[in-house]
Amino acid sequence: MIDIQTACARDCYDTCFMTVSQRGKELVRIMGDKAGITQGFLCPRGYQDIKRATSESRILYPFMRVNDTFRQTSWNEALNLLAESLAQTLKSEGARSCLQLCFSGNQGLFSSYLPQRLFYALGFTQTDSSLCSKSGHEAVGLHYGLSYGAHPDELSEKELTVYWGFNAAVSAPHFHRLSQKSQKRGGVLVSVDPRKSETSQTADVWIQIQPGSDVALVYGILKYLMETDLIDRDFIKTYTHGIDMLKGETQKWREEQVEALTGVKWEEITHLGDLYAQKKSQVTLIGIGMQKSVYGAESVRAVSLLPAVVGVHRGFFYSNAQGFPIDYQFLTGESLTEKPIESVSQVTVGSLLEQGAFTLVYVHNMNPAQTLPNVSAVRRGFERDDVFVVVHDTHWTETARYADVVLPAPTFLEKEDVVIPWGHRYVRKSNQVLDPMGKSKSELWVMAQLAQRLDLDDAWVYEDCWKVVEKALKHALEDGRISDLREGACLALKVRPRDTYQTPTGKIELASTQAEKCHVPSLPVQHPFPPHQEDYTMLTSSMKNYTHTQFQDIYGPIPPLVFIGIRDALKNDIHDSDALVLYNEVGSITMKAVISVSIPPGVVWIPRQGNDLYGVPVNSLAPETVQEIGGGPTFNSTTVKIRKSSE
């Protein structure tokens, strides 16, 4: 039996390092390594990756749609049809009528980034990548320049760890394990979350906050810190700008006002303030999901300021992607193309598709027919007779079933790749451990084939993938070279200094000097709550067995459940397992009720990106509303009405 090292390529904080044991051609088991932050264990998805790679849901051959059914075909026929359709569309409609939809289904450089060179060379319309974390990045950037922060491998040593809107026990289990090590050493773990999540259940302190009131809570903490002189005056004087404006805003807030908006008692607020002031070895981890709301970016920027006033350089973690000096625009070809590139909102793609804005859509590493807001519009757009849809994927997703051409892709176990984490700073080559299933072909192979059929003469489209990576990571490796990476070494990425701020003042801007250019206030703003008392805020977040829509072929469908608090259940005469209709102006879904002590009044919680009892996507309720900062989605400020189903 031999062991082969690889790395998980999924959209996840942890980017785990794995060892796959192989006997002959059979994969026996997959285990977590101790390298990086993996600590020798994997999440439930990682342990089932071999099973998922050989799942019956795999796309094994190219297919073409013929009279509303799929006919298996050859690669040659499928690529010829695609190249012909693409050439005709480019000639008659122009490159702007062609849309590339690619996101985070696989984060490998060879699977996601380098293949985009073809689309940039052709001039395809791109999206602004705003569906996930962009609003939070821009929000933190208003005050810090770039959004990188603390290193996760330091979590086990912290005296104070605050998970703010971040259910790490599910979304980042290796982060959470490190935090629990700090607890055993006497560190304090705090969870700020409307729901008593898995992380909240392990915390020393759980702050149950009203959804969307984070800015008010931050101003309450700041008010207490400033009025009791628990701020670090020397640090503020040396490293920050705008303290007078921030202090002026905090003085406007009254204790009872903060309590009323947040649902948090003043004693809890002052206790959290004392923890921030007393424990300088601290980190506040801000959840990606928290900023997917109307008030998300404002919440993120507010929370990021708390460590600064008590004297901690970048004492937060949101994502460290911007901390690594990697040239992603070179990887994708964005900085190499001479074609004018149109960019559209990723959040509003559904309406654009439905309106017929695009004639050809190429989808890879993404399942937009299930994951985008207003997903019914996305599906109606794909169903148009005048749009040609191509999907290159590993499994038969909802999106693949709308395609005109379906191309089989290998999973990360079936190809070589390099995965750059956005959480921690360790990188290792992802080795191929399994022969490609069926006739699956890599993204790079498909792009090269199409480029040749289209007679593209841009040399950078055909550049060797390892040479591209070497150039893009030229200044990014701290303790080795690309040759070491290719030979299997685990290397650390260089991280920009934490006491350096890429703002106009060169300091932490407690009051942003860039905000006016972005047409937003200098200080975080608490958004008003909807006036309709009969409406419920619908929160959605991940479950441990699923990464987005992946692994339903292993663990079954994402459960069609809606969790509702006891008080609201009594008010509406709702019992466990009742069928509830949730509806708003966008659509309606029917879910099975679960009465829970963990859900506050006026809130319902649903596992994200699944379907209801009748197969209707949960995202049918999510509007295409975009945030002012960063243009991000507003999933977690979706409001719904509820009623018992009559069926």
The token pair at 624 is 């295409």
Q: What is the pLDDT of residues 398-443, one digit of tens each?
A: 999 999 999 999 999 999 999 999 999 999 999 999 999 999 999 9
Contact assessment for residue 437 and residue 410, using Cβ atoms and an 8 Å cutoff: yes
pLDDT of 302 over the 70 cut: yes
User: Long-range contact list for 553-557, CB < 8 A, 24+ apart?
Assistant: 553/52, 553/55, 553/56, 553/57, 553/395, 554/45, 554/48, 554/51, 554/52, 554/55, 555/44, 555/48, 557/610, 557/611
Burial of 237 by CB count in 10 Å (0-12 exposed, 13-18 middle, 19+ buried)? exposed
pLDDT score for 529: 79
pLDDT of 647 over the 80 cut: no
pLDDT of 532 over the 70 cut: no
Q: What is the pLDDT of residues 196-209, one digit of tens each?
A: 999 999 999 999 99
The token pair at 517 is 């250019």
Contacts of 266 (CB under 8 A, 6+ apart): 220, 255, 258, 259
Cα–Cα distance, 112 to 27 (Å, whole number) = 25
Cα–Cα distance, 275 to 282 (Å, whole number) = 9
Q: What's the whole-number average pLDDT of the chain?
A: 96
**Does domain 134-321+498-518 correspond to CATH entry 2.60.40.420?**
no
Contacts of 516 (CB under 8 A, 6+ apart): 522
pLDDT of 115 over the 70 cut: yes
Share of the chain above pLDDT 70, in %: 100
The 3-class SS string of 76-123 reads: HHHHHHHHHHHHHHHHHCCHHHEEEEECCCCCEHHHHHCCHHHHHHHC
Cα–Cα separations (whole angstroms), residue 223 to 14, 142, 255, 639: 35, 22, 9, 31
Cα–Cα distance, 395 to 411 (Å, whole number) = 9
Averaged pLDDT for residues 179-198: 97
The type of residue at 84 is E
pLDDT of 470 over the 80 cut: yes
pLDDT of 473 over the 70 cut: yes
CATH of domain 63-125+341-419+440-461: 3.40.50.740
Domain spans in the chain, listed from the N-terminal domain onward: 63-125+341-419+440-461, 134-321+498-518, 536-644
pLDDT score for 224: 98
The token pair at 507 is 């300091």
Contact assessment for residue 232 and residue 577, using Cβ atoms and an 8 Å cutoff: no
Strand order in the sheet with 360-364: 69-72, 63-66, 405-408, 388-393, 360-364, 98-102
Q: DSSP string covering 527-590, please?
A: PPPPS-TT-EEEEEE--TT-BTTBTHHHH-SPP-EEEEEHHHHHHTT--TT-EEEEE-SS-EEE
Averaged pLDDT for residues 297-321: 98
The token pair at 143 is 């005050």
Q: What is the pLDDT of residues 338-395, one digit of tens each?
A: 999 999 999 999 999 999 999 999 999 999 999 999 999 999 999 999 999 999 999 9
Averaged pLDDT for residues 56-66: 97
Q: DSSP string covering 213-225, please?
A: -HHHHHHHHHHHH
pLDDT score for 202: 98
Share of the chain above pLDDT 90, in %: 96
Contact assessment for residue 391 and residue 363, using Cβ atoms and an 8 Å cutoff: yes
406 three-state secondary structure? strand
Backbone angles phi, psi at 488, to 5 degrees: 110, 5
Q: Which fold has domain 536-644?
A: Barwin-like endoglucanases (2.40.40)
List b or e across 155-176, with b for residues whose CB sees 16 or more CB atoms inside 10 angstroms: bbebbbbbbbbbbbbbbbbbbb
The DSSP bridge pattern shows strands 603-607 and 536-541 to be: parallel
Helix (H) or strand (E) holding 416: none
pLDDT of 287 over the 80 cut: yes
Contacts of 491 (CB under 8 A, 6+ apart): 426, 427, 428, 477, 478, 479, 480, 484, 485
Which is nearest to 572 in space by CA: 564, 560, 562? 564
Helix (H) or strand (E) holding 161: strand 160-164
pLDDT score for 25: 78
* Residue carrying structure tokens 């359709």: 85
Q: What's the whole-model pTM score? A: 0.96
* Residue carrying structure tokens 């399942």: 367
pLDDT band at 497 (very low <50, low <70, confident <90, very high): very high
Flag the least confident range among 253-267, 275-289, 527-541, 587-601.
527-541
Averaged pLDDT for residues 453-470: 97
pLDDT score for 528: 87
Cα–Cα separations (whole angstroms), residue 473 to 180, 329, 330, 418, 444: 34, 12, 10, 11, 19
pLDDT score for 126: 98
pLDDT score for 534: 82
* Residue carrying structure tokens 């569309």: 89
